[in-house]
Structures are given as C-alpha cells and as structure tokens.
C-alpha cells in the first residue's frame, strides 16, 4: 500500500502529467534494474484475475476468451480466477458478483494452500484486468457508491501487494480500455441490455473518458511507487488503453473479417425501446464477426481478444512488447 501522504504527493504529480500510461519501455531507474521483466521460457503458468473481459467460464465475446488463446499460443497452463460482473472490491463498489478481493483472491489462496496446489512463483505470471464494472453504470458513473476513483485504484494496485505477500512475484497489470468508445458509453449510444433508461449519452461518454484516463494515471503512479519496494518482484503495466485506441483508430491493422470494418457497432446489437424489455437484436455471423471491435454493447470482440492474447503471449514468453512497461 502507498501511504496517504505519499499518495497525495503522487496525486499532485498526476494532475500535471495526466496522460495514458507512459508505455514504450521508458527505462527510468528502479531497484534491481539489471533484471527488469521476465526471461524467455521462464513462465509456465498463467493466473488470471478480473471481470467478464477475462472470465473463461461465462464467455463474453461469443467465441474463445483471450486467456485461453494465450494458454494455446504461449503453451502455458491457465489458472482462471476472473469472474463476470466483478469489481475490485464489493466493499467499495458492490455488485452481486465474485469480486477480486472478497472472492477471487480467497479462492486462489485456498486452491494453492496445499502442497499439491502450489505454483512455482518464478514460473508463474499473474494478471489483473479490472475496472469496467467499478467505474460503470450502477457504480461510479452513476454515483451509486460511497467510494471514489481513488479508493478503487488503490484497491486495484493492492492486488499486487496482496499476492506478493502470498509469494507471487511476476505481475502484469492490464489497465482500462477506452470505455468512452464502447457502445454502452459512446456518444451515439442506444438503449441496450445494459441500460434502458433515459440518459444523456454525451455526458456519460465525457465522464467515462475522464474516469478511465484518471484511473490509468493513478494506478500507474501507485505502481511506480510500489514496485521498487517489492524485492524480487517483476511488475509490468500492459497498456490496454493505448492498444484499444490504436485498434479503434486503425482497425485495418487488427480486424480481418469479411464485413466492412466496424468499431462503433457490435457483433451482437440489441436496440431496446426506452424503459422496456422489448428489443430488436441483430448478429453478425461467421467470418463477418472478425470485422468488429466490440462483441456487444459492453465487451470486446473475439478478434480484439485474439490481439490482446497475441500481445500478452509476447509478454509471457519473455519477449519485448510494445504495450508493456516493466517497472521492476
Ligand atoms: C471488506 O469488508 C469485510 C467486512 O467488514 C472485511 O473483513 C474485509 O477485510 C474488507 N475487504 C477489503 C478488501 O477491505
Ligand atoms: C478449498 O480447497 C479445497 C481443496 O483444496 C476444496 O475442497 C474446498 O471446496 C475449497 N474451499 C473453498 C471455499 O473454495
Ligand atoms: C447532453 O449533455 C450535453 C453536454 O452537457 C449537452 O450539450 C446536451 O444539450 C445534453 N442533451 C440533452 C438532450 O439534454
Ligand atoms: C422491432 O422492429 C420492428 C420492425 O422495424 C418494429 O416494428 C418494432 O417496433 C421493433 N421493436 C422494438 C422493441 O423496437
Ligand atoms: C483473423 O485473424 C485471426 C488471428 O489474429 C485468425 O485466427 C482468424 O481466423 C482471422 N479471421 C478471419 C475471418 O480470417
């Protein structure tokens, strides 16, 4: 944990440097800089935490989720703990789903308590991709909680500290994507399965942009403060935000389906009547699906997930990756 005073100092720095995570391997100094990042061939296990973006039991992209692709591409064994609907902590942003701190981490600790369940810490990479539900409708965006973005980002970063104190050493922190462009929060949004009430979509999108950019700046600064204090740890930030902005701006580099490329609609679109459960749905089929950035109003498509998997695979293999900055 970062102390309150140190945190305030960081926050004042954040106000002057508010920008997406400084990625692209800036080699600023940190303790043990001689051995930043992972070694080729080191990682044999992938342990994932997060929400529906990463859940492999409840599939959110209509196909195969990114961790399953990584397990295949990188030849690592997958230990999936991410669960749909999750926030970092239900104490902060309550939703009736298994949150990271009250459910996913305790489940992992229980599973690895026995000698047989133990994972070799040097061979294991831990990932966290969280925040979409924490900042979303029915949470911070709509003022539904007492917690603030500061509380939520402290919780996210504490995931590293908590696992470290249980022996974990290799961490990849996946920051939040440009949710202001996902159909639910875009300026040209429509009533959908995630929100059928009246709202001002422009205001939601503007606020969501502030939330995600600020959250990413706050977690980056807190991780920079934390990483040098964790002896023997390797902490990397995976800049999902920049990756998804690039996919949004340059879809031709990433999307490869047989329909016209589409970054504002979704494979499965359901347009609801306002304040009603009546909807009209359309769904792209077959090879057309890979033309879309989003699967539905709140989830990346399978092709977007294959790209995430390709990039995370590079990290897991100990190679250099353009979206990843190693802090230690
Ligand atoms: C959540 O609240 C419970 C009950 O007060 C407490 O035991 C637990 O430590 C809290 N979790 C976090 C992450 O603060
Ligand atoms: C804890 O792990 C054991 C197996 O090691 C399992 O039988 C039990 O159901 C687990 N409990 C919880 C709460 O996950
Ligand atoms: C929605 O919010 C924007 C930005 O505050 C404002 O310009 C616009 O007039 C609002 N639209 C409606 C229909 O209230
Ligand atoms: C669905 O589309 C049909 C045909 O355009 C239209 O008549 C109907 O009102 C729509 N239903 C809803 C719930 O939007
Ligand atoms: C698009 O590329 C992915 C690899 O990133 C491949 O698995 C998929 O089959 C391709 N889709 C089409 C429609 O060719």
pLDDT in tens, 171-226: 999 999 999 999 999 999 999 999 999 999 999 999 999 999 999 999 999 999 99
Res. 16: pLDDT tops 50: no
User: What are 265-313's pLDDT values in tens digits?
Assistant: 999 999 999 999 999 999 999 999 999 999 999 999 999 999 999 999 9
Q: Which atom of ligand 1 approaches the CA of 158 most closely?
A: 13
Q: Residue 313 and residue 161: Cα distance in Å, rounded?
A: 24
- pLDDT of 35 reads 84
pTM, entire model:
0.90
- Average pLDDT taken over every residue of the chain: 92
What atom of ligand 3 comes closest to residue 206's alpha carbon? 4
pLDDT confidence tier of residue 130, bands split at 50, 70 and 90: very high
Instruction: Decide: residue 168, CB within 10 A, 0-12 exposed, 13-18 middle, 19+ buried.
Output: buried
Distance 112 CA to ligand 2 centre (A): 10
State the maximum Cα–Cα separation within the chain, in Å, rounded to a whole number: 59
Instruction: Return the residue whose CA atom lies nearest to atom 1 of ligand 3.
Output: 200
Which of 1, 88, 98, 102 for a ligand 1 pocket mutation test, highest count of atoms within 8 Å of Cβ?
Answer: 102
- Tens-place pLDDT, residues 224-250: 999 999 999 999 999 999 999 999 999
What's the 252 CA to ligand 5 centre distance in angstroms?
A: 13
CA quadruple 220, 99, 53, 194: dihedral, nearest 10: -110
* pLDDT at residue 21, rounded to an integer: 42
Tell me which ligand sits closest to the C-alpha of residue 199.
3
Q: Is the CB of 34 under 6 A from ligand 4?
A: no
Ligand 2 pocket residue status of 114, Cβ below 6 Å: yes
pLDDT band at 41 (very low <50, low <70, confident <90, very high): very high
260, 303, 309, 311: which to mutate for ligand 5, most atoms within 8 A of CB?
A: 303
In order of their start, the domains of the chain are 38-242+302-318 (3.40.50.1110)
Q: Provide the pLDDT for residue 223.
A: 98
Ligand index nearest the alpha carbon of residue 313: 5
- Taking residues 65-94, report their average pLDDT: 98
Q: What average pLDDT does the segment 105-110 reach? A: 98
């Amino acid at each position: 944990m970062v102390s309150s005073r140190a945190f305030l100092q960081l926050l004042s720095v954040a106000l002057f440097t508010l920008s997406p995570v400084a990625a692209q391997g800036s080699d600023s100094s940190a303790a043990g800089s001689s051995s930043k990042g992972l070694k080729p061939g080191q990682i044999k296990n992938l342990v994932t935490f997060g929400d529906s973006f990463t859940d492999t039991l409840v599939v959110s992209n209509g196909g195969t989720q990114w961790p399953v692709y990584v397990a295949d591409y990188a030849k690592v064994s997958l230990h999936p703990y991410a669960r749909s609907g999750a926030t970092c902590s239900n104490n902060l942003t309550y939703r009736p789903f298994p949150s990271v701190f009250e459910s996913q981490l305790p489940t992992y600790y229980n599973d690895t308590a026995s000698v047989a369940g133990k994972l070799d810490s040097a061979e294991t990479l831990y990932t966290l991709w969280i925040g979409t539900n924490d900042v979303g409708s029915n949470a911070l965006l709509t003022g539904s909680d007492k917690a603030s973005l500061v509380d939520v980002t402290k919780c996210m970063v504490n995931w590293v500290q908590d696992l470290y104190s249980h022996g974990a050493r290799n961490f990849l922190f996946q920051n939040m994507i440009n949710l202001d462009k996902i159909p639910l929060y875009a300026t040209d949004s429509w009533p959908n399965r995630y929100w059928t009430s009246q709202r001002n979509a422009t205001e939601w999108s503007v606020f969501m942009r502030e939330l995600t950019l600020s959250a990413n700046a706050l977690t980056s600064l807190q991780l920079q403060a934390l990483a040098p204090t964790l002896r023997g740890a390797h902490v990397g930030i995976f800049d999902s935000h920049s990756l998804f902005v690039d996919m949004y701006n340059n879809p031709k580099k990433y999307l490869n389906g047989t329909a016209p490329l589409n970054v504002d609609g979704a494979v499965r679109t359901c347009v609801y009547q306002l304040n009603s459960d009546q909807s009209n749905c359309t769904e792209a089929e077959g090879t057309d699906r890979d033309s879309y950035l989003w699967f539905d109003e709140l989830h990346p498509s399978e092709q977007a997930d294959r790209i995430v998997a390709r990039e995370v695979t590079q990290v897991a293999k100990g190679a250099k990756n353009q979206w990843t900055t190693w802090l230690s």
